[in-house]
Copies of this chain bind each other. A is one copy, B any other.
Amino acid sequence: MVRTAIAGASGYTGFELIRLLAQHPEAELTAVASRSRAGERLDSVYPALGGHCDLVFQAPDPDALTSRADVVFTALPHQAAMDLVPLLLERGVKVVDLSADYRFRDAEAYEAWYQPHKTPELLAEAVYGLPELHREAIRKARLTGNPGCYTTSVILAAAPLVARGLADPGSVIADAKSGVSGAGRGLSLTTHFCEVNEGFKAYKVASHRHTPEIEQELSLLAGEPLRIVFTPHLVPMSRGILSTVYASLKEGVEEGAVDDAFRSFYEDAPFVRLRGADVPGTLQVRGSNYCDIGWKVDPRTRRVIVVSTLDNLTRGASGQAVCNMNLMSGLPEASGLLFPPWQP
């Protein structure tokens, strides 16, 4: 059994980690830490967990977190993560960090969109935790930067097209839509029921911080720097992301080549389900670790439209983190993660 701990366990990604670990046949949870909830029982904060877990939140102390753990998940806000992660690594555990702090290869990109980085030396070592792109490197990693929810859905949608050179690299537009749990459990007018319910809106147009993360990975695949347009939207539902990604096909590229690219790129990926022209909706992946992808070539405009969908808390955060833990611990990639989506 892999022994795990969670720092920052009182939010939605924390709960999702606990839910997944509670069902994991090869991992167990030994400690949960939360600054704001220290001393409270986990199942008093989340009555849903009654009978499943008798842990008590402790303060996020590095010694306490690592004393009985092989892997620590850090589900903290940006910046708080980089204060804690080095202390954990020093103590000999592996870390899956769910913040943005270890997603970037060089400090410059991070600093342009976030703030000064305190441990730039760790960026060289950290692996971007998207198994479909970096499976082997994750297996050997001591530290993975777990991808953002939007980024996972957009990268997986565009990767085959960009990697196989089928699309004009400058043409990618990602129109993404997320459920409200992506905004976390903190209080703000933005997540007030009556301000969200029965409404739909765009936000952070041309300025969302998942943009450089997507660009980093797609540029790597393209072999040249590329820029994308990324527009996030808020959907009145709790869970789910759907990204509609547009790209212009290069001259001479036909529909069959697009199909082939998707099929070959995801040949060995247990968590990508390809739907072809029957484009998926968020419900069919809810609560699961799948990313379902469909696509259509529009011959009238020579564009390909890719629709990818995933659950932002599972595949877009905690499920992917468990997957990274699996790989880093020598377990099968899909261990504890192969259960059917929730429906209805």
A interface residues (Cβ-Cβ under 8 A, vs B): 12, 15, 18-19, 22-23, 46-52, 170, 173, 175, 177, 179-181, 185, 187-189, 191-203, 205-206, 227-229, 231, 233-240, 242, 244, 246, 273, 275, 277-288, 290, 292, 296-298, 300-301, 303, 305, 307, 309, 338-344
Contacts and interface: CB of A to CB of B under 8 A. Distances in A.
Contacts of A340: 18-19, 22-23, 48-49, 52
Nearest to A236: B237
Given A205-B296, A282-B201, A246 B233 contact: no
Given A227-B300, A286-B198, A48 B341 contact: yes
B197 A281 contact: no
Give the top 6 A-B pairs by smallest Cβ distance, nearest first: A201-B281, A199-B283, A194-B344, A206-B298, A175-B175, A48-B341
A198 B235 CA distance: 9
A205 B175 CA distance: 14
A48 B177 contact: no
Contacts of A188: 187
11 contacts: A50-B292, A200-B240, A200-B281, A200-B282, A201-B279, A202-B281, A202-B307, A206-B305, A233-B244, A287-B342, A342-B342
B47 A284 contact: yes
A170 B248 CA distance: 11
A190 B203 CA distance: 24
Contacts of A281: 199-202, 234
A187 B185 CA distance: 12
Contact of A238 (B193, B277, B338): B193
